[in-house]
Amino acid sequence: MLLNLSNHPSSSWPAKQTLLANELYGEIQDMPFPQIDPLMDEAGIQALALDYLHQIIALQPKAVHLMGELTFTFELVQLLKNHGVTVIASTTHRSTIDLPDGTKNVKFEFIRFRNY
């Protein structure tokens, strides 16, 4: 099982990403990414990451797709890897089109999963 811990539920993933995830890891289970208070200090981040570590270990995923707030992600990646859990990120190609009204149209195309 691939545990998706991100702000993007797997139901919104493009078909290419879902197919590859299923091929590599089997089913996909979503876990919502926590709201990280910008005022939280490092000790708070560490405590939150430890809480998520215990929740994730109990689920026994083959891998964790982890994308989100950088300091929490960094802390949790280290903890998971120290416990032998594979942690991956998704990579995308970004294309931007400048529109006449001054706005931009940005499109992300899934390319692959990459290990942390």
Per-10-residue mean pLDDT of the chain, 116 residues long, equals 97 97 98 97 98 98 98 98 98 89 87 98
* pLDDT score for 15: 96
- How is residue 20 written in tokens? 């590859």
Classify 26 as helix, strand or coil.
coil
- Residue extents of the structural domains in the chain: 2-115
* pLDDT score for 63: 98
> What whole-number distance in Å separates Cα of residue 61 and Cα of residue 25?
9
* pLDDT score for 69: 98
Residue type for 45, please? I
Direct distance between the N- and C-terminal alpha carbons of the chain, in angstroms, rounded to an integer: 18
User: pTM score, two decimals?
Assistant: 0.90
Quick one: which of 70, 56, 67 has its CA closest to 90?
67
- CATH no. for 2-115: 3.40.50
